[in-house]
Structure 1
């Protein structure tokens, strides 16, 4: 029970520390504001001096020939200008370096850094270029606006302070700064009047207003200032310079006698240099009082910051001690709870990260009926709440394992159904192909024979789709191929299993044989890629397939289409699925062909990847490891040569010769490369056999050795040529339409 009061005390101490930290932040912010305010008052004072000297310089335009100053006047402007520029840089640097400066201070710093230099540069350039002809009133007005902006910013900084007493002290500085501005304006106006010898009505009004404003600011200072500050002002702002400047001002005011013909009054009553020296001395005395007050205010706020830091440190020490005591007290209470919790946590993490995933993976790889699995309980004993949580976790763990076993059984059942359906489909398709072969052997009509060829091709495609179910079920399918085969023959076999085979052009192929154990799966894989390329490309374009040997003796087969291509992000996702096929899911039903390709490639260590073509379309790359390839074997005479695919024109029929047992050449005409107008290639019995692997039959008659397939191929070619000739006659030699003639019997 001692934990609760200790916790309450800790919270209260924390709140105290937070309040102290907030006070430190406010004090530091106030200190930054005061530092910036002091810089602004110094900058305003220096800018006032530049204004007054500039006005004297412009008023002294008639006496410059005998003056040593490079500007043509005895009044030097470089020193006050350099002083102003130095203070501008210092003020801007201070505003940037004070990290505790509030937003209003940062805005004032930006004004001094960016706006004020541009204004002064323009004004100075105009004064210098005018050679003393720049209007004095315009210069006074421009400088007055810049000074007013600085003093207004000083008022804003005073309002932003968080301590009311500190703000009150800062207002005394503002009052003195306003008073110095009034004295400076008097200095400029009287100096101009004494230099020119005249004082017009407008300038007299400005002088009167400046005198009244100085008196008002002095009264305000005496109200807000502390007694010591008032006494310091009265003892400091006195003496010969103060009396002399006041005497000259009153003399100028009292001797403003009658108007001259040009509407101005005579002002030649005193020496301008005497006036400027005495009034400047008065300004410096007022500035001394202001600097004393600024130093006092800055010291006060710095002491406040240090006090806040000390309070925060002491409160932090008390808080640490209380927290330490709380930890010591609660540790003994929590020890009896942490041990079983630690055991529960480690067991749960081990099951979640290692145990359960390992069990699920083992069940995924189980062939047949999955075994029954027991769950090891969490080693936490007792009847408290932690033990109840442990027993609940054991129940959840057991249920998860049971669901994994059920899922494994369901997956095995689905795979068995897939395999059963695929085997049935294979059996029916194989019987269908045998029936089609029988019908082809007995058919003599070339048109019907061509239809049977189309039906044969359709059944072959059905067989491939059925084998896709076996791949989904992770079962293997063999078509009885045992001898190694050339890559060219494998590519042609893949052509026979796609619908748009006429649009496929077979490119160069190395004379490399593929091992017998992977021929069926390689044909299936290439057929899926070809069908995908044909489906997603324009029907007027063609698809290329070629192969080459690459490094390490591997074979690289490329299937290129000229479709619209695939977006890069989609292409990356497809390549990831090709590299790691995983288990069948919902996505598999939409892209079953790619899943089959990935499964077949993973089964034999091949690598399949898609990439964008350099020009247009997509390239599918199949990398066959060198271990799957074999050295040269006795090469059979291929059924058709490699065709070149520059265009989609109908390629001519080509003939291949096979030596008969009697040494005579039997001509078997086969289709060239499949194009947009070719018919199906003719299948020749025994064309895939290696010469010498089948005993030759002894026949004496040349006609008896000619196979029915060869005769049918010649008749089919003859009929195809006759039909093309009729089409040519009906459309004309140049494509024009002719009159139809009665169809002749072949």
Structure 2
């Protein structure tokens, strides 16, 4: 944009300069062309033609008056001179210069047309066919046309030249009148008389000549022309005037005027006056030419001067503008570079602050040197803006980091309380034997496990990591069950695992969290009656876990936005995203990014959503070589020595003993072969027996080496059915229904599966 500062003044000044230069060049060219035409190109041929035709007119009149006189030879010689003048004038008809004087070419064309009849007129004169008056009129007409050419040559574009040329044209008319009078008197001297018409022409010519001389020619004489101011007082002019006065006093018959005096005296007088007038005409022509050429030279000098000064000024303006613009551009580019550097430095400062590094504001902001102008003030403002931006980023990052620390601290404290609550629930579960109380305790245990996951969400959103750690690899099925146990509607989730995949100990906790979040999303966004299917199978790059629901699904652009979020988890500011319903996706994205998982949402064939979680090979390990410690079967436990239970009484739960005497209905699919016919003992519950050893809490925790062991069957996946059977039998005993109809296989009320710390 700054280039406009250079080009606008230059482009504005250049046309003005060019216009002035063009006008001066045009004026100089026009004046030069006009002066060349007036002096050499057209002026000299026209003047020569004028004097030749004037002389030929006089001799023609004399020959017509006296054919046998001596004037014949002079006429022949004069015609030769006239022919040369005509030959020099004829090329002027081909001129076509737009800078020529106005009306010049029309006058030249008119004169050229009249010259075309010159030869015919001469033949008529020689043959005696032409009368003196006809010949006189023809030559007078050609001379007047030639005077029109000379008058047009005096109308130039320069006013002073026009004024001086006008006196010169008047002088030509004086000569024309004198020649006109001489031609009439020449033929009158031969006859000795003039007709009244001829006499009138003479007197008209004398009056016009005297008027032009006294009123227009003599007053215009200046400089070296002033000696000719007394030409009318000279001997020749006085003699000519005396002869003319005699004509006015001459008598004659009717229609005739007698001529008195000597014709030779008249001829000598007219010749002398004509010579003087021609000398004055030549001097005036030279003066006019000098004035015209001097003015043209002056215009050319002005043109050169203005052009030089203008071009120099234009170059100076362009150079100065370019120089100033270059300086401004360099300084503005410097400011722009500093602004861009700040733009690049600020995210780096924020990233360093996110990594927990300390940032020195003074070291990060490079101050610009102030200058005493507007750009200096702009630089100072940029300094303040840079410092304010970095300082604001530092303060905001510190506030965000402090908020994250506070959030993590609160979440950690809440997790401690949750841990204590789980511990207390364990104690209550071991202490109480009432089935209703146990059922409520189991529900509280499940809700507490979910609450622990929500608190871990806060830790993750605050920039931390889950604290649950495992020391050994865990079977994938146990990981999926642990995740299922942290979902509210866990009963709707079915798990199907192909193969024997084991998860590395470092990934167990985050993977359980990720799967639990995705399972809960599947149950939350689908109808309560619809199932949620979880399938796991090995693939070429690891193990793929698919979680498919039968909800309403999402639009394609929503899938694309969610997948983009999962691929590139942004830095989440929990203070600005408190109302975002996708916080679970942020948690999944953060944990997946830390583990290297690939999570993708797709449309399901059922109309819902299918989530694919790819566990890479880096998270998979081989089956541990050390087999877990076997769990003793119920039949391997010591003989129960308690007194037999009375019919209708609920069993009394003692520490370390299962409710072996509580029986289930006969025909149950879980019937034990050692039980009496029709009834069998309920299974003995062993804490954490449904989990793999890797998910169990350490045996020495809380110094309880002799903690209660609850015996279960070998298939840990049926713990829910076992607890459900216990609950049904308890309800039957309370209601007195001793022989209820047995439930079909697999229809027992499920109970929540245990988590990894239960």
Provide TM-score, normalisation by structure 1.
Answer: 0.46
Whichever of the two has the greater Rg, that structure is: 2
Provide TM-score, normalisation by structure 2.
Answer: 0.46
